[in-house]
Structure 1
Amino acid sequence: MADSYIDPSPANFQAFKDLPRDEPIHMLNLLEYREQAEYPQGHEHAGKGWSGRRAYEEYGKTSGPIFRRVGGTIVWRGSFQTMVTGPDAKRWHDGFVAQYPNAGAFFEMIKDPEYQQAVVNRTAALVDSRLMRFEPGEAGEGF
């Protein structure tokens, strides 16, 4: 199986931390769910037979209030249909762009103790993902 990515590598996370923290950011999320969620033994949701998608929904429910509190919003969301340019074998289930008022808000979210409990659902849910930071640009008719 090809490499899968659930959490950032130390080098990638350091590169993220080295970028400016005081400007708005967009985070592109690409998600591939596990058929069956994989929770750590003893976790409250272990053994419930949840799908990866169901576990990700739980992540959204439990992390959502923290995401909104730090000023996060979803600016685009979609369900994957087909690969136009890219590896034929790669199939994402869902994608979205989260907007944060600044990178500091993202750090505030991931350091929150309630978020750290919620993120277990994300890890249980995903077989692969991508998380990419972008500087927001102007939307409109041109490329």
Structure 2
Amino acid sequence: MTTYIDPSRETFEAFKALPRDTPIHMLNLLLYREEADYPAGHEHAGKGWSGRRAYEEYGRTSGPIFARVGGSIVWRGTFETMVTGPADRVWHDGFVAQYPNADAFFEMIKDPEYQRAVVNRTAALVDSRLVRFAPGEGGSTFG
């Protein structure tokens, strides 16, 4: 099974080529490691944290930057079962992060404090997906 933690050069270039001045929703699907995998010498290496605990640290340390750029969580959920898709594909958690525009996302990931915080995300996850959507209207039908 191929796993993904960070975007490839190709997928990140495709993201950068999309409009930067419109609101975006980012679907995040998370699969945590049993034990966080920090680089040797990192302040949290050897603490025995679970992947979920390391992700909580990522949220705590990146949260102020996320809020400063105008980000918010518009939906959060805990995985229960795959209804359509591979039965062996599971996630622990999912959420949708909203940004006022792609430039806000870029501002966040370029921030030096965020770059220090993201080490916790990398240590926490064995696999993830990050999918950009243009927000649409809700309603009572699927179409």
Same fold (TM over 0.5): yes
Q: Which runs of 5+ in 1 are unaligned?
A: none
Is 1:50 matched up with 2:44?
no
- Specify the alignment match of 2:63 in structure 1: 64
**Does residue 119 of the first structure (1) align with residue 125 of the second (2)?**
no
Question: What is the match of residue 83 of structure 2?
Answer: 84
- Give the TM-score normalised by the residue count of structure 2: 0.99
Aligned positions, number: 142
1:41 aligns with 2:12: no
Q: What one-letter code is carried by the residue in structure 1 that aligns with 2:54?
A: A
Q: In the aligned structure 2, how far is the partner of 1:19 from the partner of 1:86?
A: 27
Matches of 1:85 and 1:44, distance apart in 2: 41
1: CA distance, partners of 2:4 / 2:69: 25
CA-CA distance at 1:93 after TM superposition: 0.1
Identity %: 80
Q: Distance in 1 between matches of 2:132 and 2:106?
A: 13
- Match in the other structure for 1:94: 93
SS in 1 for 2:30: strand
Aligned partner of 2:21 in structure 1 is 22
Q: Cα distance, 1:92 vs. partner?
A: 0.1
The reply to whether residue 107 of structure 1 matches residue 106 of structure 2 is: yes
Where does structure 2 lack aligned partners over 5 or more consecutive residues? none
**SS of the residue aligned with 1:31?**
strand
**Deviation of the 1:140 alpha carbon:** 1.6
Q: How far did 1:33 drift?
A: 0.1
Equivalent position amino acid for 1:7 in 2 = D
Match of 1:138 in 2: 137
Q: Distance in 2 between matches of 1:75 and 1:47?
A: 34
* Deviation at residue 63 of structure 1 after TM alignment: 0.2
The CA distance in 2 between the partners of 1:91 and 1:23, in whole Å, is: 31
Q: Distance in 2 between matches of 1:12 and 1:91?
A: 23
TM-score (norm 1): 0.99
Q: Which residue of 2 aligns with 1:12?
A: 11
Structure 2 distance, partners of 1:35, 1:90, is 16
